[in-house]
Every structure is written in structure tokens, then in C-alpha cells.
Chain A
Amino acid sequence: MVVKSVTREPRAGRPGPRMVETPAGMLNAIGLQNPGVDAWVARDLPWLVARGVPTIVSIAGSAAADYGAVAARLAGRPGILAIEANVSCPNVEDRGRVFARDPAATGAAVAAAVAAATVPVFVKLTADVTDLAEVAAAAAAAGAAGVTLVNTLLGLAVDVETGRPVLGGGTGGLSGPAIRPVAVRAVAEVARALPGLPIIGAGGARSVADVVEFVMAGATAVAIGTATFTAPTTAADIVDALPGWLAARGHRRITDLRGLALR
């Protein structure tokens, strides 16, 4: 599993409301609430290790050096399979613009994490950019082992009775089935441009067919997110059903389907 992002210092997160349903999806503005990396390592990591959960740790920060600092605190810890750098965070060194919008800022955050990490570093990118392949290439050049595509899309919901944003934080990240075609397109775009770069597809997948769609677009793995809120065991249910789905269609190996739609 990929755990919720951890940062250098504890964060209280944004004021409520933090989530609102939208057509075929939801908007959220949590604000990276987390106990901070030291508390996470002391309290949450042992719980995961005791259960043998293969863990990918999402890390976030406000400056490139933060990614290195958090990766350093995770270095050498047992049970951590990889790091996923969440670069959809405001960069205080770039007027608060998110790292992921810029190839150089993304590369700097990734390079800082890679330099301190003892496990592979993946980076989760946003589709809210002009040239996603360029950002992915910068991440790969900085040492990323792969990319997660995509993070939530920035959205806004307004309460028409009050004339105020619905979410306490103002804007929020749009997720769920509404963004799946965008995510699948992003996967295909990067898979075409950078054929050797491993991709974790993410964005609205909630069924076996959705997972297969991401794989056919070029993803090696697929993340289940928003579906969890309505059906918490979705990820495990898909793993259970996937072999039967593939067998019924004569597919012996899931890897044989990767990138099928690009050929």
C-alpha cells in the first residue's frame, strides 16, 4: 500500500469541510494532515512492519530540501519498499506554485529524495501541465525509478447559496471515475514518450476492467484510491477477481497486456 503523505514536521491540515462529492467523483482539500515523519516512523511504520504490509511511503514538502530530509529519516528502515514523492505541493521557493507544474522544480525535489533514500523513489505527477512527458523526463533524469500518473486535478466547487467555496481550503483535488480518462491518457502519453519508465496508473480505477485499461495504456501497476471510500476492500477484491477475468480471455500473464493500446 501507498501510505498518506508524510512531511518533515507535523501538519494540522486545512479547515473543514475537507471533502465534497461531485459528479462521478469528489473534491478534497486535506492539506497534508500528518503526524510528521518522526512520529510516523515511531508509531505507524512498526504497525505496518508487524503485519508484513509492503509499504510505499508518500512524502511531501514545501521546499526541495524537505524531500531529502524526509527521505533521510526513512533511510534504512525495514519494511519500506519504495518512496513516492508527492510533488503536488506548494513550493515556498517558487511563489507557492506546485513543484509538479515545472520540470526543474520536480527534478530538484526528486534529486533531493534520491540522494538521501535507500529505496527506489517514484514521483506522483499532475496532469495539470502543458507537457506532462517533459516533467516525467525531468523526474527520470533526476533519478526517479518511475512515475505515478496522475495526482488529483485541481478543482473548485462553490456553494451558490452562500457564494463561498464549499471546501474550507478553497480549491481541492478532483478524483474518482470523472478523471479516469484523463489519467489513462496521461499514462499513454508518458508511456509513448518514455517507454522504459515504469508507470503506476492512478485516477478513478474501481474495477478489474479499469485496472486492465490502465495496463493496456502502458501502466505496470495501478493504484486504487477514491473507490476505497465507498468500498474499502476494492483493491483486494480486484486482486481476487483479476485472475479469473484474465483467464476467461486467455491471458496467461498480466504483463502481456501492458501497452497493448499503444501498438
Chain B
Amino acid sequence: MTLTAAAVDLAVDLGPLRLANPVVTAAGTFGTGREAAPTWTRRASARWW
């Protein structure tokens, strides 16, 4: 049976932290969030993560 994308588990345990997926933004490249928000809200699926 073919594996579907929906069945893939992206969650990771980063030490004591449980993250929904392994991707984070790097310090300094995203400001404090507010600066980047306009470009993100123009995204088709407007969500942070």
C-alpha cells in the first residue's frame, strides 16, 4: 500500500520540547514576528505553522 502524505508523522522531541514539525525560523531572520507577518498573511494557507 502506498504511503500517503497525511500518514507521515513530522513530530519531533527536541529534548524536553515536543515540536509539531522539525522546522524553525533562525534567530535574526524573522525579526520578532511582527515584521514578517505581512508576507505570511498573504500566503494561501495563512497560518504560522
Contacts and interface: CB of A to CB of B under 8 A. Distances in A.
Given A53-B48, A232-B39, A252-B7, A239 B23 contact: yes
Name which of A52, A229, A254 has the most chain B CB atoms within 10 A of its CB.
A254
Nearest to A227: B29
Interface of A: 1-5, 28, 30, 40, 44, 47-48, 51-56, 58, 81-82, 84, 86, 120, 124, 145-146, 198, 200, 202, 211, 215, 219-226, 228-229, 232-233, 235-236, 238-240, 242-244, 246-247, 250-255
Given A3-B30, A3-B32, A253 B15 contact: no
B40 A233 contact: yes
Contacts of A146: 14-15
Contacts of B19: 54, 221
A244 B5 contact: yes
Contact of B14 (A48, A221, A251): A221
The bracket for how many chain B residues form the interface is: 35 or more
A242 B45 contact: no
- Secondary structure dominating the interface of A: mixed
Given A120-B16, A232-B36, A222 B25 contact: no
B8 A253 contact: yes
Interface of B: 2-17, 19, 21-34, 36, 39-40, 43, 45, 47-49
A253 B11 CA distance: 8
B4 A236 contact: no
Contacts of B12: 220-221, 254-255
